Amino acid sequence: MSIFSHPAYDKHEQVAFYQDAKSGLKAIIAVHNTNLGPSLGGCRMWPYADDGEALEDVLRLSRGMTYKSAMAGLKLGGGKSVIIGDPRKEKTPELLRAMGEFINTLGGRYITAEDSGTSVADMKVIGETTKFVSGLIEGSETGGDPSPSTAYGVFVGLKATAKHRWGRDDLQGLKVSIQGVGNVGFRLAKLLKEAGAEIYVTDIFQDNIDRAVSELGATAVGSDEIFDLDVDLFAPCAMGAILNDDTIARLKVGAIAGAANNQLAEERHAQALREKGILYAPDYVINAGGIIDVYYQQQGDYNPAQVKEHIERIGDTMQEIFQRAEETGETTAHVADRIAEERFGHEDAVKKTDSAAA
């Protein structure tokens, strides 16, 4: 199958492949859209089952970054990179430096940052061979790590979701199931616990589950059992495409609000959720805290209060989406897409605007 006929290809501006035999690096960079600015998105390292799975992931993720930055009001485009490999076993300084050399070949059209399977420390190594790396600012409280900001943004959006779904201003006693308690998921779980929520967790790594149980008093459940829990809200914070025909049929929740990218396996699953009465918080809107943080790091003169204020606008954006979806009968995912496309100049949105003006 060619790139241009790939189901996940969405008029991407550039898709680049790179292999370095010496370090063992196999990677892909996808630049989706740069209408608003250079593409910025994390570098994910993951043990993909095959090259096709990696390609689909980077195409979907880079597209999501375009929409995410547009909805967050940032002058950035959408891009993403993936390294094929197990980050716990195959990551080396040589491999990361080779990744920096790969990023350089795009001449600044793509700027990287940390993501699943990579860290701030890894970005520093990548930064030895490229200047097109972000999330390293020493002046921030986290040393440049955007994970806390991502978690906080999801928490803000989750509260807005609970407000719209149940009309409540607090999370006391709310039952929340969290799929994935890594860097972002654990921080979200901590915020929820502090807010009085009852949390259930699962993860592909047992040590992550053990930490959530011992430090937060979370209830551990099986990786498949997470979809069958009778809880109020489901927070996907791991990999994407987990909302599909099978899982949606099993869900017993009133709302979904989590940090994972590309939660819907297909666009039609947004309608399936709506028909089942499940309120869905569009993933690229609610999880934008990290990219907001990294954007301000890029600008210089990093101001934590300014970053927090911008992240807290996620709650207002979520309320706007929920309200418009309720008024029009559309899915929340479609409403969010429409707003984002108007902002970054998507071809279809431009045509609709021109027609309306005529």
Give catalytic residue positions.
80
Alpha-carbon distance of 100 to 236, in angstroms, equals 30
CA 129 to chain centre: 26
Angle at 123 between CA 120 and CA 128, to 5 degrees: 140
Cα distances (Å, whole numbers) of residue 126 to 4, 83, 215, 354: 30, 12, 33, 44
Answer left, alpha or beta for residue 113, where phi above 0 means left and psi between -120 and 50 means alpha.
Answer: beta
Give per-residue burial for 27-55: e unless 16+ CB within 10 Å, then b.
bbbbbbbbebbbbbbbbbbbebeeeeebb
- 25-33 and 77-84: which strand pairing? antiparallel
Alpha-carbon distance of 317 to 157, in angstroms, equals 9
Angle at 123 between CA 50 and CA 239, to 5 degrees: 40
Token couple for 180: 């994935």
DSSP 210-243: HHHHHHH-PEE--TTGGGG---SEEEE-S-S--B
Cα distances (Å, whole numbers) of residue 122 to 24, 101, 113, 189: 16, 14, 9, 25
Residues with Cβ within 8 Å of 292's Cβ and at least 6 positions away in sequence, in order, are: 72, 74, 149, 153, 307, 310, 311
Alpha-carbon distance of 188 to 350, in angstroms, equals 37
CA 43 to chain centre: 12
